[in-house]
């Protein structure tokens, strides 16, 4: 009987569960593992959201840039009564962003067929406060027709007036275009000397980002991720 009791006691001792310390250690280890998994999941989720936002921002930016470049390429390079061909208004403080861009294009649908009556206005506007580029056809002042949000810089360089639209302080954009010659319908012997224009647009990506220092097109440190694109065009529509 004594032998049987000792055997039963040893059997009960072998069937004992975890001690409190072992349970606490197991919980701590499980929490560490779960925390690591949560951090990994959160990081991947944020990166996924950022990549989607970046793709959307890039597509919107490229669409707006092509839209403006196409219009500017169609700008009339003749003038009536000495009126400016392309008006570029800029802010008076750095980075001297373009606040308004106005020029005329040819509209064949208008009548009668004269160079003065077939001209229609293209008008773009931008302010740092609104962070959006707005657009209107033949309207002054501008309406609030937004074509691109989250804009942190809109700048149109007149490449014939490098001193007035200096590239100093900007990185990642090409040198100024040289002037090109366009046939003048008013004087076939003397072509028009037409300047090129460089359009620069920078936007911020409205999403979290981790991946190095954040800088804008001028090299300044910023708090949000920026992307920018540029286009270079010559106005090619000459009229009397």
pLDDT digits (tens, 9 = 90+) for 178-187: 888 887 777 7
Q: Is residue 146 part of a domain?
A: yes
Question: How, if at all, do strands 180-184 and 146-148 pair?
Answer: unpaired
Please tell me the predicted confidence (pLDDT) of residue 69.
Answer: 95
Q: 190-200 as b/e, with b when 16 or more CB fall inside 10 Å?
A: eebebbbbbbb
* DSSP bridge partners of 69: none
Q: Is residue 186 part of a domain?
A: yes
Q: Is residue 2 part of a domain?
A: no
Which residue's entry shows tokens 């707006």?
64
User: Rounded mean pLDDT of the chain?
Assistant: 79
* DSSP bridge partners of 135: 124
Which is higher by pLDDT, 35 or 149?
Answer: 149
Whether pLDDT at 41 is above 50: yes
Strand blocks (E) in the chain: 86-90, 98-106, 119-127, 132-137, 146-148, 151-158, 180-184, 187-194, 197-204, 226-233
Whether pLDDT at 157 is above 80: yes
Q: How many domains does the chain have?
A: 1
Whether pLDDT at 155 is above 90: yes
Which is higher by pLDDT, 98 or 31?
Answer: 98
For residues 215-227, average pLDDT = 89
Q: Is residue 195 part of a domain?
A: yes
pTM of the model: 0.76
Q: Is residue 18 part of a domain?
A: no
Q: Is residue 209 part of a domain?
A: yes
Q: Which of 139, 168, 170, 136 is nearest to 153 (CA)?
A: 170
Q: Is residue 25 part of a domain?
A: no
Q: 120-143 as b/e, with b when 16 or more CB fall inside 10 Å?
A: eebbbbbeeeebbbbbbeeeeeee
Token pair of 218 as six digits: 């001028």
Whether pLDDT at 73 is above 50: yes
Q: Is residue 39 part of a domain?
A: no
Whether pLDDT at 82 is above 50: no
Q: Alpha helix locations (H) across 15-88?
A: 20-73
The residue segments making up the domain with residue 77 are 48-233
Contact 66, 77 (CB under 8 A): no
């Amino acid at each position: 009987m004594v032998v049987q009791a000792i055997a039963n006691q040893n059997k009960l001792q072998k069937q004992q569960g975890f001690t409190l310390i072992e349970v606490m250690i197991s919980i701590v280890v499980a929490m560490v593992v779960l925390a690591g998994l949560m951090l990994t999941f959160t990081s991947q989720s944020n990166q996924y959201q950022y990549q989607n936002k970046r793709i959307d921002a890039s597509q919107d930016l490229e669409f707006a840039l092509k839209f403006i470049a196409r219009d500017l390429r169609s700008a009339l390079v003749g003038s009536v009564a000495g009126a400016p061909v392309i008006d570029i208004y800029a802010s008076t403080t750095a980075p001297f962003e373009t606040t308004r861009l106005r020029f005329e294009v040819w509209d064949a649908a208008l009548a009668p067929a004269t160079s003065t009556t077939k001209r229609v206005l293209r008008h773009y506007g931008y302010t740092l406060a609104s962070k959006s580029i707005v657009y209107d056809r033949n309207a002054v002042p501008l309406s609030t027709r937004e074509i691109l949000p989250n804009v942190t810089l809109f700048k149109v360089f007149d490449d014939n007036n490098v001193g007035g639209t200096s590239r100093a302080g900007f990185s990642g954009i090409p040198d100024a275009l040289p002037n090109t010659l366009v046939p003048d319908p008013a004087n076939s012997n003397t072509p028009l000397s037409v300047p090129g224009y460089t359009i620069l647009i920078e936007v911020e990506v409205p999403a979290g980002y981790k991946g190095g220092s954040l800088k804008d097109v001028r090299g300044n440190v910023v708090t949000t991720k920026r992307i920018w694109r540029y286009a270079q065009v010559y106005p090619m529509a000459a009229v009397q």
